[in-house]
Structure formats: structure tokens, C-alpha cells
Amino acid sequence: MGSSYGKMPDSEQDHQTLDIRSCSKKFWCTAAQKSGEKIEGNIFSIKKEFIAEFTGTAILIAIGIGGNCSGIFMGSFSGLWQIASLWGFAVITAVCCTASVSGAHMNPAVSLALTLQKQLSWPDFFGYVTAQLLGAIFGAAANLFLFWEFIKKFEEDNGITRGTPESVRSAMAFGEYFPNPAIFGTHYELLSPTKALLVELWSTMILLFVVKAVGDQKNKAVVIKDFSPLWCGFAVTILGAVFAPLTQCGMNPARDFGPRLVTYFAGWGSVALPGPRNGFWVYILGPLIGGPLGAFLYDVLIRNENDEKVVVISPRDNRRIPSFTLDKKSQFDENFVAEICSQRRLSATFKDAGVSVNTAVQI
């Protein structure tokens, strides 16, 4: 789940560098030799990664905000727990659809956390975030079109003029506001922007802590990693149920800002952007601080680096490519490395850090 760089002793005349770059999945691998020969393998193209992020985020927003619209404008849900559960299932659905291609970040806070941990390159980070924002805009626009007549009826029945302060009650189906207008109306004095920022920071920090925990290959409490999307969805549901009364619990800058742009141009104007008390920035800055912090805290407090594995790469034939060992602190997907090595006629040996190569399992 990160970038690994092969290292050779200076005494070697020929050397090979294995560069594995990714986020939660490994996407491409480049082997470069000192002689100048360049070997490249493309598992998933960069374009497909961005398309996957666009698609996953669009699915997330289509289901999540669709649920908001259904509940607010049509009364089809009763209680916050149902909406929070729907968002959790939206996460599970979107992750299962796209994780094998892009890692299913669907959230700039996740992408930033992995980028700061050198598990995603900066160019890819900006590509991911752009795709996520566009996906959120698409999903929100689709819901605006599908629920348009019911939104207008809701506003008419409740005497709401779109663009006025009261229209936050309809805008909240798309963007997020503090405190939750469905519960507290326009009593903004109950929650300051600073405290709202802390709520978003805190909830996103917990979310990324959980994401790192369930994705940790050494976490014995989560034996079946295929269930990781479920645990992430459960975390979103629980956090939403707890913190949504305060800030609607965004935890995702793309999820909030993309739909805000849609509502801004759909007639809500300043109610959408910059929002009451110019508060839109809370849903951007809070998650972007909390996400990397949660990932960092998991690595520092919980993750056991001594259990990390190293991989020894060596040729299967007489090619003049020497064996080498990747940094033992690096994280990598063993299945991915094995697949790459198979394609390149290389052998991969995995072993626990500090254990003799003789006791390793040959792939």
C-alpha cells in the first residue's frame, strides 16, 4: 500500500530499480536498468484510475444525496439513523465497484493522507481530486434533475424562496450546514465555525484511522480483508449518526463542495456559496487536516512496523539482472508483486523483516 524503491549496493556493476507506485492498490510498475534498457508494465492505466474515482464518487453522491432528497422532500425516511445507514451502504457499494482499479478513495482527505505517506504521487493526487470533484458534481446534478419537481413543491409548501436564508432547508439536501438545519433551523449561534471545523476534523480523523486499520494486512482483528468495504461503510454510518446533528458530518471535501457548486448555479446563490457565515471552508479544511492526522496516528500508535515484510527480486533465467531487496519499511501488495514478477520472468521471495531468507516462502 505504498511506494517501494529497490536499492542495490554500490559495488554492483549492473542494477535494477523496481518502482511500485500506488495508493491502496498497485497500478503500474517500471523496471529501469543502468544499461539504459527500460521495461514498463501497465496494469491499470492512469486514465482508468481517474475514471474509477469519478465513477465511484458519482455513485456515492447519487445514492447518498439521492437519499437526502428522498427523505427531505418526500418524507420517505424517518430518523437520522436511516439516512446515516444509507450513506454507509453508498460507501460500500461505491468501494466494491471501483476499489480494484483506483483504491476507491472518493475523498480528497483520503487521497491527501496517502499522498503525504508517499503511497500516491502528487500528480496522481491532483488527478484523483479532480476526478472526485467532477464525480460529485455529476451525481449532485443528476439528483437535482430527478427530484426537481419535488424540491419545488417542498419549497412552495413551506413558504421557502430559493436564495433566501430560509432556503438552507432545501439546500441542505446537497451541501452541508452547521448546525443541522433540519433540527435547529437557522439558529446558527448554537455552533461556531471554529467548533464546526473541529467536528469535521475529529470525525474525519476517526474515519481515516478506521480505514487504515481495516486495510492493514497485519491487523489480526480483520482477518478477511474482502470485508474492508463493510467496515468502512459501518464507520461512515456510525460517525454520521453521531455528528450529523452538528455539521451534517461531511468528512469529504468533494462530497460537499461539488454539490454546493450545483446548487449555487441552480438558484440558491450565496446560501450555497459561501454559505451562512461564509462557512463552506469548514467542510474543506476540517477533513483535509483530520484525514492525514488519523492515518498518521494509526501508523504511530497501532501499526507494527516490525511485522513488515521484505521482498527479494531475482531473475528466473540468465539475464544480467541482479537480485535485490526492497526496503523493509515499505508496504506492498504481495499478489501484485508476484503478478509483475511473473510477467517479467522474475522470482519474488517474501519474508518477515529480520528473518533469514532461507525461511521465506517462494512465490
Interval 135-159: pLDDT, tens: 999 999 999 999 999 999 999 999 9
Name the grid cell of 238: 456510525
Domain definitions of the chain by residue range: 4-42+310-362, 46-301
Between helices 46-74 and 253-263, what is the axis angle to 10°? 60
Question: What percent of the chain shows pLDDT beyond 70?
Answer: 71
Interval 26-46: pLDDT, tens: 322 322 222 233 334 444 445
Find the radius of gyration of the CA atoms of the chain.
23
Task: Give the whole-angstrom CA distance, residue 272 versus residue 277.
Answer: 11
Hey, what CATH class is 46-301 in?
mainly alpha
Residue with cell 457499494: 93
Interval 83-104: pLDDT, tens: 999 999 999 999 999 999 999 9
Q: Please, are residues 239 and 252 in contact by the beta-carbon 8 Å criterion?
A: no
Give buried/exposed letters for 246-257 (b at 16+ CB in 10 A, else e).
bbbbbbbbbbbb
Q: Which residue has the higher pLDDT, 286 or 15?
A: 286
The strand pairing partners of 26, in sequence order, are 22
pTM, entire model:
0.76
Predicted local distance difference test score (pLDDT) of residue 132 = 98
Q: Please, are residues 171 and 263 in contact by the beta-carbon 8 Å criterion?
A: yes
Task: Give the whole-angstrom CA distance, residue 326 versus residue 311.
Answer: 6
Interval 108-128: pLDDT, tens: 999 999 999 999 999 999 999
The closest alpha carbon to 69, from 169, 184, 188, 180, belongs to: 169
Q: Please, are residues 203 and 84 in contact by the beta-carbon 8 Å criterion?
A: no
Q: What kind and span of H or E run contains 219?
A: none
Predicted local distance difference test score (pLDDT) of residue 2 = 34
Name the grid cell of 78: 424517518
φ and ψ at 71, to 5 degrees?
-75, -45
Q: Which residue has the higher pLDDT, 26 or 246?
A: 246
The closest alpha carbon to 1, from 304, 331, 295, 336, belongs to: 331
Q: What angle do CA 216, 352, 44 make, to 5 degrees?
A: 50
The length of the chain is 363
φ and ψ at 82, to 5 degrees?
-65, -45
The mean of the pLDDT values for the chain is 81
Residue with cell 517462494: 362
The widest CA-to-CA distance across the chain, in whole angstroms, is 80
The SS3 of residue 65 is helix
Predicted local distance difference test score (pLDDT) of residue 155 = 98
| Integer angstrom CA distances of residue 314 from 6, 301, 323 | 12, 35, 4
Residue with cell 491499470: 44
Cβ-Cβ contacts under 8 Å for 285 (sequence gap 6 or more): 197, 200
Strands 38-42 and 26-33: antiparallel
The SS3 of residue 38 is strand
Q: Please, are residues 59 and 94 in contact by the beta-carbon 8 Å criterion?
A: yes
Cβ-Cβ contacts under 8 Å for 176 (sequence gap 6 or more): 247, 248, 249, 250, 256, 283
| 8-state DSSP, 45 | -
Q: What share of residues in the chain are helix, strand, coil (percent, to 5)? A: 60, 10, 30
Residue with cell 444509507: 86
Under the banding of pLDDT at 50, 70 and 90, the label for residue 337 is low
Q: Which residue has the higher pLDDT, 186 or 7?
A: 186
Residue with cell 519474508: 351
